[in-house]
Amino acid sequence: MTGEFRDGDVRHASATIEPAQLALAWRPQVRLADGLARLVEWLPE
């Protein structure tokens, strides 16, 4: 690891649903915490 950026490196990112909300009038039906809990229950041990 050189500490230098390479072509194609993502330097900044954020997770937001705002573009989908605005463009598609979309709203999540499940809260993130609830969805993650359901995923953990569903995953095999």
Name, in order, each residue with C-beta under 8 angstroms of 7's C-beta and a sequence gap of 6 or more.
Answer: none
Q: What is the model's pLDDT at position 41?
A: 96
Residue 2: what pLDDT? 81
CB contact at 8 A, 17 and 29: no
The tens digit of pLDDT for each residue in 1-45 reads 788 888 998 888 888 999 889 999 999 999 999 999 999 999 997
- Look at residue 42 in the predicted model and tell me its pLDDT: 96
- The pLDDT, as a whole number, for residue 3 is 82
